[in-house]
Structure 1
Amino acid sequence: MTLAGGNKLISENSIQTEEKVNNIKVLKFGGSSVADFDKIRHIADYLKKRVEQNEKLVVVVSAMGKTTDALLKNVATLSDRPKESALAMLLTTGEQQTIAYLSIILNDLSVESVALTGAQAGIRTEGHHLKSKIQTINTTKLQELFKTKDIIIVAGFQGINHEDELTTLGRGGSDTTAVALAASLQASCEIYSDVTGIFGTDPRVYPETKKMDYVSFEEMMELSSLGAGVLETRCIEIAYNNTTKIYTGKTLSEEKGTWIVPNEQIIERKAVTGIALDEDMNYVTLSYPMHDTKVLTSLYELLEQNQINIDMISQTVNIDGMQLSFTMKNTEQYQIKAIIDQLTASYPALLHEIKDNYAKVSIIGSGMRDMSGVASKVFMSLIEEQIAYYQVSTSEISISLVVDAGNAKQAVQILCEKFNV
């Protein structure tokens, strides 16, 4: 099985195929769904009903409510430079509380369950302690447990590296845990939160937006990577590479949610499926008075070492030197400032500017491949409303524009109306 980026998701399972449990479903509940004990009890009642329908469940949970934020606030009172390994060990305790509480309640309901940390569930990771990626999942223990248990509760967001150190998977890590487990077990994945599914855009920005019954893996990857904030991009990549269907819906609601499925299963296509707004971005410009590619090489090496993703890159070269501009997540502004300081030490003439008064608006739809005129309609719509746009980037199924932050929501509303999103 394949993980994001072409890596192999190795399902290390020594049990023969005929011995495997095949009626397994993977469910994930987010922090707001398990924010208090009453909510956890309601979820336990729901899970019992699923078991009574002869299902075997892997249940991945996040930390309760704002637990992770509270832990980070505690750290801030102790140190401004905590070691990543210690921080990872602390943050993993949030999910471990939830799995324990849920298991206690389920066992009182006479449901055979067991709670496992990410490490106990066989999740091996690699990379930085706070930004690890799943390398392998050994499902042998899970399959064995299902011979006597109906529900296996797994702590999301975490794993263990080759040095047996606890690690976290970064933003959206519990989603990634759930989808990776589903891929390894060849099961579908249901992700529950406080929203009823996936909408064409954020309903808080455009209340008339429509909920989608189905969306393709590739469209969902674009929506996630371009700022939609519904699901983490890595979990969608894992699902895409392993053809693992994902259902997203509201916790304990009977309202129909959204299925994320392979592209070929989408029958009706619109030119524009969704519009993403990313207000959590910085616009970085570097200027150097000489045409020296060494400064660029040094920059990209440092970005790679620190695992910082940049987007919408543009470069100009003329007799006055060269200029490089790109966008990036503002959550990594401290890291980019440290990188620029390192570069300036080696290249004193390097100038930089980091702005946070911009936003990125992106139009996504696989129908763009076959329909012409989408880009011109986007540009004309913004020009008519006198909304300036700056940097533009495109892919086969998306168009992204940098606009002034103050105009971003209006731009989304206009484009939603134009494309009936």
Structure 2
Amino acid sequence: MTTVLKFGGSSVATVEQIQSIANYLKNRTEQGEKLVVVVSAMGKMTDSLIAQAQAITDRPERRELDRLLAIGEEQTISLLSIALNSVGVKALSQTGAQAGISTMGVHTKSKIKQIDGDLLRKKLETYDVVIVAGFQGVNELGDVTTLGRGGSDTTAVALAAVLDKRCEIYTDVDGVYTADPRIHQAAQPIPQISYDEMMEMSALGSKVMEMRSVELGKKYGVHIFVGKTLESERGTWIMEATETMEQKAVTSVSVTKNVLTVSIKHVPQTNSAVADIFELLSNRHVNIDMISQTTFDSDVFLSFSCPLDEEEFLEEALKDIIDRFPTVKVDRHNEHAKLSVVGIGMRDATGVASKLFATFRAENITFYQVTTSEISISYTIAQADIERTVAAIANAFSL
């Protein structure tokens, strides 16, 4: 039996933690398992490496930044391999390139193009544990690239898909909850959740899983377990929807902090103006969200949101937009958050929106934008209102 496991940065933050994981993995190999283990960089190593680069320049060349950031995961795979071999487990460390992970796209935000699964299968014939550096791969030029936020989750699920195995994600939380327990202490654990709900939650702010990894899981039928490192008694399985999952209209409430909202006024009302604006944003790789458009006479008012950590990309795009359309006026706000309620049961339930708007009215909570999907409703609110809004919605829907 072969299983793919992933350990996040908080799980491998110290040598002592790495040794504990090695002992845990040894116990599993003694039960006859072969393991592919994906690891992140130790603790805050990635942040430390970025800080070192930014101490030299606030805009490091992205190819070199990728080469630097890859060091973090490569340190962890080596230490874990050393720890495993020291306790008698045949283990081998592999960089993303050695594991056959090919990538495409821009540096620091690449995507997995393909994986040569035969490379890992061959290694597993000789070794009990193969440890793969998450978050990285190699592009068509032979350059190391990184996969962006949550890239190690994506690596693990992609490997599980190629090997046709289940995937276990271990981190510092014991599964998925109805709300972030750090925001709402009364949040309840969710034993099982559908791929669609987890993808929606990830897209809307949940930090437990990265959306691309869940999307891969759904596409290839990979069952994903999320649990706390070395404490596997409780956790959440991400899998196909069941009738039980669909009985509840709202499953969870998610929050994305540090959201930039942008308003562009006086956009020309032409067939191409709006398309041109979003093309310019796309050219600068800005991840757009919550789009709305209003037209007054011949004047178009456009608004959207994006992550605050993409401010550099946004600034470049806004300069391009102003150059193309000198008459537009741009307003930005960076103290907003996005709050979303998610539930696969919304597909058939009525009255969810009514109850939400009534809750906002009763609690005197101001919202600035609203968008919907088949299984979610999202609002932009002031960051200062996050905790009381989550508490009010959790109470209204018994989350």
Whether these two folds match at TM > 0.5 is yes
Cα contact 2:169–2:225 (8 A) shared by 1: yes
- Which residue in the other structure is 1:113 paired with? 91
Shift of 1:267: 5.2
| Residues 348-386 of structure 1, C-alpha deviations (whole Å, 9 max, x = no match) | 111101101222111000111122111101110110111
CA distance in structure 2 between the partners assigned to 1:81 and 1:357 by the alignment:
24
Note if contact 1:295-1:343 (Cα within 8 Å) is conserved in structure 2. Answer: no
2:110 corresponds to: 132
Instruction: Give the conservation status (yes or no) of the 8 Å contact 1:216–1:266.
Output: no
Partner of 1:30: 8
What's the counterpart of residue 39 of structure 1?
17
Counterpart secondary structure, 1:221: helix
One-letter amino acid of the structure 2 residue matched with residue 321 of structure 1: D
Question: For 2:395, what is the secondary structure of its paired residue?
Answer: helix
Comparing 46-55 with 319-328, greater Cα deviation is found at 319-328
Q: Provide the residue aligned with 1:9 in structure 2.
A: none
CA distance in 2, matches of 1:67, 1:247: 25
Paired residues for 1:167-186 under 5 Å: 167-186=145-164
Aligned residue for 2:370?
A: 392
Residue 88 of structure 1 deviates from its aligned partner by 0.5
- C-alpha distance in structure 1 between counterparts of 2:148 and 2:367, whole Å: 32
With over 3 angstroms needed to count, the CA separation of the structure-2 counterparts of 1:100 and 1:265, relative to structure 1, is farther
Partner Cα separation in structure 1 for residue 58 and residue 347 of structure 2: 48
Whether 2:328 is the aligned partner of 1:330: answer: no
Measure the CA separation in 1 of the matches of 2:217 and 2:111.
Answer: 15
1:139 aligned partner, one-letter code:
G
Match of 1:4 in 2: none
Q: Which residue does 1:358 correspond to in 2? A: 336
Corresponding residue of 2:142: 164
Aligned partner of 1:18 in structure 2 is none
Runs of 4+ off more than 3 Å: 264-268, 292-295
Cα drift, residue 320 of structure 1: 5.1
Aligned residues of 2:166 and 2:222 also touching (Cα < 8 A): yes
Q: Give the C-alpha shift of residue 76 in structure 1.
A: 1.0
| In the alignment, structure 1 residue 206 sits paired with structure 2 residue 191 | no
**Residue 311, structure 1, aligned to residue 289, structure 2:** yes
Instruction: Give the aligned residue type for 1:407.
Output: D
Structure 2 stretches of 5 or more lacking a match?
A: none
Q: Specify the alignment match of 1:155 in structure 2.
A: 133
Q: Which moved more, 1:329-338 or 1:311-320?
A: 311-320
Higher alpha-carbon deviation: 321-330 or 150-159: 321-330
Q: Distance in 2 between matches of 1:320 and 1:298?
A: 17
Going from structure 1 to structure 2, the CA distance change for 1:267 and 1:273 (only over 3 Å counts) comes to: closer
Q: RMSD of aligned C-alpha atoms?
A: 1.3
Residues 88, 130 of structure 1: 8 Å contact kept: yes
Match for residue 6 of structure 1?
Answer: none
Going from structure 1 to structure 2, the CA distance change for 1:363 and 1:283 (only over 3 Å counts) comes to same
1:222 aligns with 2:200: yes
1:158-205: per-residue Cα shift (whole Å, max 9, x none)? 000011110000000000000000011000000001111110110011
The match for 1:369 among 317, 333, 347 is: 347
TM-score normalized by the length of structure 1? 0.92
Q: What's the CA shift for 1:265?
A: 6.9
Q: Quote the Cα distance in structure 1 between the aligned partners of 2:20 and 2:222.
A: 27
Q: 1:294–1:258: structure 2 CA closer, same or farther, 3 Å change rule?
A: same
CA–CA separation in structure 2 for the residues paired with 1:192 and 1:355: 35
More strand per residue: 1 or 2?
A: 2
Q: How does 1:246-395 map to 2 (within 5 A)?
A: 246-264=224-242, 266=244, 269-288=247-266, 290-319=268-297, 321-395=299-373
Pick closer, same or farther for the CA change 1:107–1:416 going to 2, 3 Å: same
Residue 36 of structure 2: aligned partner: 58
- Note closer, same or farther for the CA distance 1:267–1:91 as it changes in structure 2 (3 Å cut): closer
Q: How does 1:181-200 map to 2 (within 5 A)?
A: 181-200=159-178
Identity of aligned residues (%): 44
Paired amino acid for 1:147: E
